[in-house]
Amino acid sequence: MTADSNLPIGRFAHLDLGGVTVTTLADGFRRFPLADGFVLNAGRAEINAALSEARLPPDELTIVFNPIVVTTGTRRVLIDTGMGEQPAGATSGWLMDSLAAADIAPDSIDLVIISHFHGDHVNGLLKPDGGLAFPKAAITTPRVEWDFWMSDAEMARAAPGRMAQLFEANRKIFGALTEPVSQYEWDSEIVPGITAVGTPGHSVGHTSFLISGADGKLFVQSDLTNHPALFVRHPGWHAGFDQDPLLAETTRRTTLARLASEGILVQGFHFPFPSRGTIVADGEGFRYVPSGA
């Protein structure tokens, strides 16, 4: 694993919900210059102002990747798989190292739940040699998401560039799996304590999760928002990688308002490690307040 002195990050962090343990696992980060098109409806000055408000440097973005393992009863469930193993020295692809640090063996994972079919969430299903990264795990995906990406008609309609590439990559990954992939429905309990919540827009079948233990609940927002200093603070901003930006905005505003009202603990795939905190209403937007635990 490669460390970065400018990015406070751990390898793993546990949260006890009472009979249910949620473990955040660092999969690394990407740091890159702010580019036109990252936010479709905000200019560079506005974006830099939001970064400054969050005490972050201008003209630069750092996006982190943090899957989670949920241990409940006899089940050990991985939600999303990260970027997949990368060459030595890479700043992402750390999931296997983080699992080892947390003393979680890949073959102890008995279920992998996928939130949506973007590379930083599904690439880690396979090893670099094409073998199964989690050989004893069943894999389940949102039915809406599966039906879209596995539709030949939708693939034929895909715009050249990113969408066409996503279809190709997803067909390759899921086609390499040796066992059938099951699909879950929104508002269903996938396993006891983990309920699927439809939050479409970022992708057509994008899904969040409500994890419930005897002592509390955790809302796993997946990619409802990307960088919290931008899209939590300004829920009306449209990310260039949202499949349906208008729907993503509606879903984001509605869900963040509910989370702020309920005061529930929130886990975000792209939130700074350990990736959990609360959402607070603030003017026309919201603020993410890290839990620090």
- SS3 for 114-153 is CCCCCHHHHHHHECCCCCECCCCCEEEEEHHHHHHHCCHH
Q: What integer pLDDT is reported at residue 282 of this predicted model? A: 96
44-85 pLDDT, tens digit each: 999 999 999 999 999 999 999 999 999 998 899 999 999 999
232-273 pLDDT, tens digit each: 999 999 999 999 999 999 999 999 999 999 999 999 999 999
Give the integer Cα–Cα distance in Å for 133 and 141.
17
The answer to whether the peptide bond before residue 67 is cis (omega within 30 degrees of 0) is: no
Can you read off the two tokens belonging to residue 242?
């949202």
- Report whether pLDDT(5) > 50: no
Q: Which pLDDT band, with edges at 50, 70 and 90, does 9 fall under?
A: low
30-41 pLDDT, tens digit each: 999 999 999 999
> Do 274 and 10 form a contact (C-beta atoms < 8 A)?
yes
Q: What integer pLDDT is reported at residue 76 of this predicted model? A: 98
Ranges of H-type helices in 20-124: 44-53, 95-101, 119-122
> Do 114 and 59 form a contact (C-beta atoms < 8 A)?
no
- Edge-to-edge strands, sheet with 68-72: 12-16, 20-25, 68-72, 75-79, 111-113, 138-142, 182-184
Indicate the SS3 state at residue 66: coil
In the chain, the amino acid numbered 127 is K
Q: What integer pLDDT is reported at residue 2 of this predicted model? A: 39
Give the integer Cα–Cα distance in Å for 293 and 260.
19
- Report whether pLDDT(292) > 80: no
Tell which residue, 66, 20, 37, has the closest CA to residue 276. 66
175-233 pLDDT, tens digit each: 999 899 999 999 999 999 999 999 999 999 999 999 999 999 999 999 999 999 999 99
111-169 pLDDT, tens digit each: 999 999 999 999 999 999 999 999 999 999 999 999 999 999 999 999 999 999 999 99
> Do 218 and 22 form a contact (C-beta atoms < 8 A)?
yes
CATH class of the region 12-290: alpha beta
- Report whether pLDDT(293) > 70: no
Helix (H) or strand (E) holding 208, with range, is strand 207-213
- The structural domains of the chain, with segments of one domain joined by +, span 12-290
Give the integer Cα–Cα distance in Å for 81 and 67.
6
Q: How many residues are there in the chain?
A: 293
